[in-house]
Every structure is written in C-alpha cells, then in structure tokens.
Amino acid sequence: MSFELFLSAFQGVEAVLHNPGMFLARLGLIALGIFLIYLGKKGILEPLLMIPMGLGMAVINASVMMFDPLGLHGGLGTLFLEAQAGAGPDPVKNAADLMYIMGIDWLQPIYTFTFSNGLIACLVFMGIGSLLDVGFVMARPFLSIVIALFAELGTIVTLPIAQLFGYTTKQAAAISMVGGADGPMVLFTSLKLAPELFVPIAVVAYLYLGLAYGGYPYLIRLLIPSTKLRGTPMKADNKASQFSSGSKLAFAVVACVVLCFLFPVAAPLLFSLFFGIVIRESGIKQFQELLNGPVLYTATMFLGLTLGILCEANTIFDPKVLPLLLLGILALLLSGIGGIIGGYVAYLFTGGKVNPVLGIAGVSCVPTTAKVAQKVVQKENPQAIIMQYALGASVMGVITSAIIAGVFCSIIK
C-alpha cells in the first residue's frame, strides 16, 4: 500500500501533515473542549452551554480534513459549517456559495437560518422572557436601575480601550457589548455593527459568560472581604407578588412599545424578551410551556453546539482575534466591579439595608448572576434571601443592555 493511499484512508492524518503547526493549536483546543465538558459536568461552568460547546470545540478541531470547496482555508476544512460562506462582497456569488455549502455541511442550515441572522438569540430571549417575573422590577424600579447602570461600567469603558487596540469604532462597540454579559445582545450587536467579527466575538462572549459564573464569586469575595457585610440580611418583602398578572402584562406591553419606539434597531430583541413576558402574564399555559421548554432548551443546545463548532483553530488563532480574548475578560471584569460599586452605593444610601453583593446581579446574565449573588450571600448567612431583589436588578440589567445596544446601533454610523 502506497503512502498516498494510506493518507487518503485517514484524512485526518493527511490534514495534520499538510499543516503541522496548526495541529498543535488544534490539539490545545481539543484539550480545552474536553476541559469545558469536565467543568460543565462538575457544575463549575454552566452545563447547558458548556457541554455542547466543549464537545463541539473538541470535535471540530479533530475533524479537519483536506476539504475546502470555497478555497477559503488553504485546502483544509470540515463537513460541519462554513461561517465565511456568503460573506463576500459579491451578492450573486454569495448566494451560489451558500446554496452549495448548504448541501454539504450539515450544520450550515442551522448557522445560516438561525445563528447569523440573530434568530437564535431572539428565541433564547423569548424563553428567558417567559421565565421572568417583571414584578421584581416593578416592586423596586429605582434600586434595580441604579445597580444595573453601575454594572454597565465594562461596556462603557471597554469601547475606547478596544479602539486603542486598533479596532474601528463599530468593532470596538460590538466588542464592548460583552461587558453587558448578555449573550443574545452581544450576538445581535456584533451582527449589526461588525459582522466580520461576529464569530470570534460570539465565541469569546459565551466562553467568558461561562467563566463569569465560576469567577464572579471570587471577585465578590475580593471586593467585599467582610463576611458580615456579605451576609447582610435584606428585609423579606413580597412586594412583587402584590402585582396582578394584568398589571405586569400592561407594564410589559407599554415598556415594549416605548423601548421599540426609542430603539428600532434593537426592536427584534426587545420584542422577543417582552413577548415571552407577555405570554407568561397572559396565562397562555400552552405557549408558556412551549417557550420555556422546547424553544429555550433547543435554542440553547444549538447555540452551545454551534459556538463550539465555530471554535476552529483557524478562527481562534487569527491575530485579529487574540486581543478579543483580553478585551472580553476586561469588559466582564469591569462590569462586575461596577456592579459591586453600585451595590456599595445602594448600601450606603439606604443606611445598610441593601446587601452590596446585590450589585453583581446588575450584570445582566439572567438569572445566573442573581443566582451567584444568592449563593454567595447564603454561604455567609443561610437566613439571608436576596434573590427577589437580585432578580429585579438582573432583569433591569437586560433592559439597560438593550438600551445601550440600541444607542450604539443608532449613533455609530
């Protein structure tokens, strides 16, 4: 048997010999993917996202072969998806390329019809909306809004820093949205402002959102060293339950219309969030179960899987992408710090009635950061329940992120 015949039987080996340098990078990403699965299984990172993402990342880097029908990657490719298909300057060639690739790559229809147009982000938001109780926001709108505004520090500060790294204003704005810690919002803004960086921004954002889940408790302990302060009890109140579903429905409809009127560019995402809330409050059980079950979990699963598949070594080790790794973590770190400063401000202005840990919930990753805040507080003081306050801040964080996304898309031309 000739060596060429051997290589054609094991195309993975042939791909390694074609570019041995990149193989090391691929091995690193395979190891990272397996590590993400481990962290997801252990519950250190969000398993719903990390397990599909980790497996996707490991497999896509193992499945590289001599296959590059569009001539984009120096002869190497996979049978999963081609993110660059249809992204060229010629619309006629784009359409032809897309149709061609759609018939070959099995995940291409999911990527083209749900991921690259933001539909998957909207579906996730509909599911999240159907789980949200806006009563928590209605009960304490000003406390929630102050904390949420502080927790946008990373978004605001990262934009000029990203420009210093050589990114254009649009790209810098899309990158800085990672600080909002709101996955669907990051996808949406990068699609609108910097589609050429959509894939790496999406990958970095979701990777770090998973890490934030594990890292924020350490940040809280660092910035709020006093265990007594971390365990500050907050007055148990059932204010949120005082609102009837009719009141919450009326609020959701008015807020949705007003925000869509102010920020039409963010209207698909705002509509999706409030659609979920309206379905929940209108009591249509069948739709509610559909949104917070099959729709949310199917969208989350394919989101994680597609993100993992996009973590191919060629994409991640692009020199233009590497600063993103730094800027993404900086944005989330600054937002966490901003949120805790907001928590301290609320603590001081209320004479110690607000637990400063609440600030982390303003980083809008609903309901993850609210859960992080509750877990940290409960560890210090098992009697302290701040979840209802934290959810209010978290929901308001989504709204402030949507406002910032709308402002960015409107003023940056």
Contacts with other proteins, residue ranges (CB under 8 A): 46-48, 128, 131, 133, 135, 137-138, 141-142, 144-145, 148-149, 152, 156-157, 159-160, 162-163, 169, 172-173, 238, 240-244, 246-247, 250-251, 254-255, 258-259, 262, 296, 300, 367-368, 370-371, 374, 385, 387-388, 391, 396, 399-400, 403-404, 407-408, 411-412
Cα distance between residue 20 and residue 296, in whole Å = 40
77 φ/ψ angles, rounded to the nearest 5 degrees: -175, -175
What angle is formed at CA 290 by the lines to CA 285 and CA 293, rounded to 5 degrees? 110
Nearest CB to other proteins, comparing residues 3 and 261: 261
Cα distances from 210 to residues 39, 113, 158, in angstroms, run 10, 25, 20
Nearest CB to other proteins, comparing residues 206 and 243: 243
Q: How far is the CB of 179 from other proteins (least distance, A)?
A: 11
Q: How far is the CB of 134 from other proteins (least distance, A)?
A: 9
Nearest CB to other proteins, comparing residues 80 and 125: 125
Cα distance between residue 308 and residue 225, in whole Å = 36
Q: Any idea which residue has 């579903």 for tokens?
A: 245
Nearest CB to other proteins, comparing residues 51 and 311: 51
Q: How far is the CB of 305 from other proteins (least distance, A)?
A: 17
Q: How far is the CB of 1 from other proteins (least distance, A)?
A: 50
Q: Kindly give, in sequence order, each residue whose CB lies less than 8 Å from that of residue 223, ignoring residues fewer than 6 positions away.
A: 337, 340
SS3 state of residue 57: helix
Nearest CB to other proteins, comparing residues 55 and 85: 55
Q: How far is the CB of 172 from other proteins (least distance, A)?
A: 6
Q: Any idea which residue has 């979920």 for tokens?
A: 276
SS3 state of residue 30: helix
- Would you tell me the crossing angle of helices 267-282 and 387-411 to the nearest 10 degrees? 150
Structure token digits, residue 292: 């917070």
Nearest CB to other proteins, comparing residues 82 and 133: 133
Q: How far is the CB of 387 from other proteins (least distance, A)?
A: 5
Q: Any idea which residue has 């379905």 for tokens?
A: 279
Nearest CB to other proteins, comparing residues 173 and 197: 173
Q: Kindly give, in sequence order, each residue whose CB lies less than 8 Å from that of residue 9, ignoring residues fewer than 6 positions away.
A: none
Q: How far is the CB of 196 from other proteins (least distance, A)?
A: 18
Q: How far is the CB of 79 from other proteins (least distance, A)?
A: 31
Q: What single-letter amino acid sits at 199?
A: V
Q: What single-letter amino acid sits at 356?
A: P
Measured in whole angstroms, the distance separating CA 151 from the mean position of its chain's CA atoms is 16
Nearest CB to other proteins, comparing residues 191 and 402: 402
